Amino acid sequence: MAAEVIQGRDKAPMSNINVTPFVDVMLVLLVIFMVTAPIIQQGVEVNLPQAKAVPVEGQEDPLIVTISRDGAVYLNDNEVTPIELRTKLEAIRRLDPRKAVYLRADRDVRYGAVIVAIGEIKGAGIERLGMMALPLDDP
């Protein structure tokens, strides 16, 4: 803060806040974040099976998260809410940290429901996430 003495009025110090440096710093930070934000965004890696690929041999008890056409979420065959999904997957991850989860969604399900499910799975600490799809039919 700067203190100025005003001539003619009680000679009391007057304090003014200079906001110009603050605005300059904020604008520079804004530009930096606008430039770096697209660079640090990470997408979800999906390796879809090829048309003539051999099915992958599964593990002993695969975890399958299913999203039905109406948006209901199932862990194996039990319906769960997204919060319950995260809680159950966290408990499973504590028992087996290398456990893989397969996500199976109906073709007509809303994209947002799939993203919410992926977020809950990743939020539970599951690193191995696979997407299930049917192979293409040969003409």
Q: What is the pLDDT along the chain (139 residues), one digit of tens a residue?
A: 455 555 555 676 767 778 888 899 999 999 988 888 777 655 433 333 344 555 556 556 778 888 887 888 888 878 888 888 899 999 988 888 888 888 888 877 888 888 889 999 988 888 888 888 777 764 4
Is 74 inside a domain boundary?
yes
Residues 89 and 122 in one domain: yes
Residues 31 and 82 in one domain: no
Total count of domains within the chain: 2
Q: Kindly report, residue by residue over 102-122, the tens digit of the pLDDT.
A: 888 887 788 888 888 999 998
Is 51 inside a domain boundary?
no
Dihedral angle computed from the Cα positions of residues 92, 94, 100 and 102, in that order, rounded to the nearest 10 degrees: 40
Domain hosting residue 118, numbered range: 63-131
Residues 67 and 13 in one domain: no
Is 120 inside a domain boundary?
yes
Question: What pLDDT does 26 receive?
Answer: 92
| β-bridge mates for residue 16, sequence order | 2
Is 137 inside a domain boundary?
no
Is 45 inside a domain boundary?
no
Is 107 inside a domain boundary?
yes
Residues 70 and 125 in one domain: yes
- On whether the CB atoms of residues 76 and 64 are closer than 8 A, the answer is yes
How confident is the prediction for the chain on average, in pLDDT? Answer: 76
Structure tokens at 118: 């992926």
Q: 29: number of CA atoms within 13 Å, CB side?
A: 6
Residues 119 and 83 in one domain: yes
Is 138 inside a domain boundary?
no
Is 12 inside a domain boundary?
yes
CATH number (domain holding residue 121)? 3.30.420.270
CB atoms within 10 A of CB 105: 22
- On whether the CB atoms of residues 117 and 75 are closer than 8 A, the answer is no
**Beta-sheet pairing, 63-67 with 100-105:** parallel
Residues 34 and 72 in one domain: no
3-state SS, residue 16: strand
Residues 76 and 111 in one domain: yes
Angular region, 30: left φ>0, alpha ψ -120 to 50, beta rest: alpha
Q: Residue 91 CA to chain centroid, in angstroms?
A: 20
Residues 118 and 72 in one domain: yes
Buried-state track 90-100, b at ≥16 Cβ within 10 A, e below 16: eebbeeeeebe
